[in-house]
A and B are shown apart, each in its own frame.
Chain A
């Protein structure tokens, strides 16, 4: 294969991976930034999104494009509702204490995985892609669905960004992030903002799960990898910095694609982990995080 084709393939693979990663990590970063809690169950929301997408597509049937569109709407909503329940029944009861939240969400990982194992089953299940489209490049073909999913992820990221920066609700979230007490003094219902942020974070993971399900499959253990990569991205970008998360997702995603294509996927993971270690040593607050004053 010619070098140009090879490089193009590497960049395509990297960009698609980066877009999905950015969407997933954005939710984790948002939850940490505003609520100052680490949600270990974030990857399971990704998995639930994919599984619910399968359920929606299977129960409704019909043309793949229609059932996929339905899944794209219902899965994030259903997962957001589950996240609201988690917030109300668990997080609020442990008063969002960081340690207790980590333990509680570790427990949730097992609860979600086993609940899906008992209902959905242990098999990997495919969802038909909304359309079939093979894009031909010189020397190789590439999945048009993958390109479309990268585009959809970018649109969703932009939408979230606009919501955070241009709307009243986004302002309330940012105010709560900067100083919860002062925000409350100005009449922002911090408790409701927390619930909303947690649900939004979960919905972002879920929608990423829906987007990947036509190119991967739904499986009850699929949440582990996205969680690990999201943590890597959030740490490199700086805890709580959304801009940092997005930059880091693209750095990690594209370098992962290029290293994996030209060398080996294992080397790509080694490089990402090494980068985390170096960032933690040289700049513990991450690339865009603010150092504690």
Chain B
């Protein structure tokens, strides 16, 4: 029933939005204004944040929004972008692909922004990116999905602030097969993000002599997991789990109840545990297990000057919680992507001499020309390389162990560990 009602509402809005969009586009054309913006040299750069304020991604969305606001305040306090301040406009896409495309449309026709950024959930990215391409709107996602580097999207879509699943799992596979075991059962969500894990980790582990004992795709609406566990064959040494959604605590608890003390070792992804306190009831079974982090939640895991300064700027304490409320856990392994992406946008606007929408092509080419982001307060997660043909950055990963409700970094991968054979070249597409 919920689906019916929300579908109905979204359908009406979509039509309405298209009509408004069409009318606005028509009016602009009739007025004969070249582009739709008239810039003064100190007019603000308008940046649209497409955020998951409601829907299944809302826990992430809240931190994406606050991190982006902190980044904008930081950039504006240091002279803005080429002397122009950033004006950030925020629109909620309800973590819904259909609504996502409408939001991109609204940013272009109503808010008349220069660029859009910040989309996280892969299905929303895939739903929104084609519209951004049609509207020739630079679209910077912070999503992790392999969809950007796979070549499935278009020339206007970039992911310069966060690494993709393929390089993450490729770089960690040697550590997992070398330290935890070679017989691995994979549990992943039954949609694109999960398939990226399935395909690329299976391939990477296979090359290292690993054996995938079973592949368990879990439907995203599942609330009980015990029924899947009998499919994990005896002799499995490692359970590789990546679950996104509110069910993670149930999942871990049921895993513990099913296997008891003698079960396989666990390797998980922090995606499931973002915004979740590791001391939550039910997570006891994770003790001693290993977890991937993109950026260590606990400050002692990455005590670099830039990471600590960034932590302070976004209002997160040494335990990865909000400074204002120690129970409010951040999505620390993802939100840095918003901070870094805004700094990439700043660098690209300044390098291209971008003034307004007429310069969009120059802006796209300026991003594609980038090759390296040195570690700094602009890129606190660490040094990154950028492949302009793939529109994707490459960076380091962290493997941490759960110890007494805390995460302790035990291994850091090198950028080179995650490199793979490129499958795409966006620069051959017309602008």
Chain A residues closer than 8 Å to B282, beta-carbon distance:
126, 128-129
Q: In the complex, how many angstroms separate the beta carbon of A286 from the nearest chain B beta carbon?
A: 18
Q: In the complex, how many angstroms separate the beta carbon of B228 from the nearest chain A beta carbon?
A: 8
Q: In the complex, how many angstroms separate the beta carbon of B221 from the nearest chain A beta carbon?
A: 6
Q: Which residue of A lies closest to B3 (CB)?
A: A224
Contact between chains at A126 and B275 (CB < 8 Å):
no
**Can you list 18 residue pairs at the A/B interface with Cβ under 8 Å?**
A1-B234, A106-B5, A109-B5, A114-B54, A117-B58, A122-B59, A123-B275, A126-B249, A126-B280, A128-B281, A136-B260, A141-B257, A141-B259, A219-B246, A221-B55, A221-B56, A222-B246, A224-B1
Q: Which of A122, A124, A134, A257 contacts B61 (CB 8 A)?
A: A122
A128 to B54, CA, bound (A): 26
Chain B residues closer than 8 Å to A261, beta-carbon distance:
227, 230
Given known A-B contacts A124-B247, A126-B249, A143-B253, A257 and B1 have beta carbons under 8 A apart: no
Contact between chains at B246 and A124 (CB < 8 Å):
yes
Binding site for B on A (CB under 8 A): 1, 5-6, 9-10, 13, 17, 40, 43, 64, 106, 109, 114, 117, 121-129, 134, 136, 140-143, 215-217, 219-225, 227-228, 231, 257, 260-261, 265-266
Contact between chains at B260 and A141 (CB < 8 Å):
yes
A-B pairs, 4 with minimum CB distance: A122-B58, A124-B246, A128-B281, A224-B2
Chain A residues closer than 8 Å to B281, beta-carbon distance:
64, 126-129
Q: In the complex, how many angstroms separate the beta carbon of B318 from the nearest chain A beta carbon?
A: 21
Contact between chains at B59 and A257 (CB < 8 Å):
no
Contact between chains at B254 and A143 (CB < 8 Å):
yes
Contact between chains at B230 and A43 (CB < 8 Å):
no
Q: What number of A-B contacts does a CB cutoff of 8 Å give?
A: 107
Q: Does B39 contact A (CB under 8 A)?
A: no
Chain B residues closer than 8 Å to A5, beta-carbon distance:
230
Chain A residues closer than 8 Å to B229, beta-carbon distance:
140
Q: In the complex, how many angstroms separate the beta carbon of A205 from the nearest chain B beta carbon?
A: 14
Q: In the complex, how many angstroms separate the beta carbon of B300 from the nearest chain A beta carbon?
A: 25
Q: In the complex, how many angstroms separate the beta carbon of A193 from the nearest chain B beta carbon?
A: 26
Contact between chains at A13 and B224 (CB < 8 Å):
yes
Contact between chains at B246 and A134 (CB < 8 Å):
no
Q: In the complex, how many angstroms separate the beta carbon of B166 from the nearest chain A beta carbon?
A: 26
Q: Which of B1, B227, B259, B260 contacts A13 (CB 8 A)?
A: B227
Contact between chains at B2 and A215 (CB < 8 Å):
no
Chain B residues closer than 8 Å to A223, beta-carbon distance:
2
Q: Which of B5, B221, B227 contacts A257 (CB 8 A)?
A: B227
A127 to B247, CA, bound (A): 13
A106 to B229, CA, bound (A): 37
Chain B residues closer than 8 Å to A10, beta-carbon distance:
227
Q: Which residue of A lies closest to B254 (CB)?
A: A143
Q: In the complex, how many angstroms separate the beta carbon of B398 from the nearest chain A beta carbon?
A: 23
Q: In the complex, how many angstroms separate the beta carbon of A14 from the nearest chain B beta carbon?
A: 9
Q: Which residue of B lies closest to A212 (CB)?
A: B223
Q: In the complex, how many angstroms separate the beta carbon of B63 from the nearest chain A beta carbon?
A: 10
A140 to B231, CA, bound (A): 12
Chain A residues closer than 8 Å to B234, beta-carbon distance:
1
Given known A-B contacts A64-B281, A217-B249, A40 and B227 have beta carbons under 8 A apart: no
Chain B residues closer than 8 Å to A109, beta-carbon distance:
2, 5
A109 to B221, CA, bound (A): 18
A64 to B280, CA, bound (A): 13
Q: Which residue of A lies closest to B5 (CB)?
A: A106
A207 to B226, CA, bound (A): 23
Q: Which residue of A lies closest to B246 (CB)?
A: A124
Q: Does B219 contact A (CB under 8 A)?
A: yes
Contact between chains at B224 and A17 (CB < 8 Å):
yes
Q: Does B222 contact A (CB under 8 A)?
A: yes
Chain A residues closer than 8 Å to B55, beta-carbon distance:
221
A interface footprint on B243-276 (CB within 8 Å = 1, 0 otherwise): 0001111100110111110000000000000011
Q: Which residue of B lies closest to A125 (CB)?
A: B280
Contact between chains at A123 and B276 (CB < 8 Å):
yes
Given known A-B contacts A123-B275, A143-B253, A222-B246, A1 and B230 have beta carbons under 8 A apart: yes
Chain A residues closer than 8 Å to B58, beta-carbon distance:
117, 122, 220
